[in-house]
Amino acid sequence: MNTDYTDNIIAKINAIPTCDDIKDKTGEELDEIKAKIKVILAEIDADSTAYFTELQTNLTNSLAILGPLNINPTNISSVITWISDFITSNITQPIETITADLILVPVELLRVSTAIANKTTDLSACIIDI
């Protein structure tokens, strides 16, 4: 599974100002920063949830289509051997890849959720209500 999406989302989360970045801000400036952070976190949460939900649905649908075709005859003539090789390379391997990706979807979603939680905890430590 390509984790570039998750890495980019986490980078956006980590780019949100920290307590040290905003410790000297007050009044309207602090309110603007807080509002921007709320918007960024809400957008990231909505976007990542939609992304991972769609990804998981697509992977599940692909697996459902390929699953019944996952046969591997091996003990007949060379034609059957060719068919077996074809099935392995064009059906079995994609099923294994999809299955592995399905396992990673919740892991990647957890990475994003953890990054959001960590950022929220960090900001709440300096009494910024997010």
* Rounded distance between C-alpha atoms, residue 35 and residue 62, angstroms: 40
pTM of the model: 0.59
In 3-state terms the chain splits into helix, strand, coil percentages (rounded to 5) of 80, 0, 20
Read off the pLDDT of residues 70-99 as tens digits, 9 standing for 90 and up: 666 566 677 787 778 778 877 888 888 899
Read off the pLDDT of residues 11-22 as tens digits, 9 standing for 90 and up: 999 999 888 888
Given this model, what pLDDT does residue 72 score? 61
The per-residue pLDDT of the chain, averaged, comes to 85
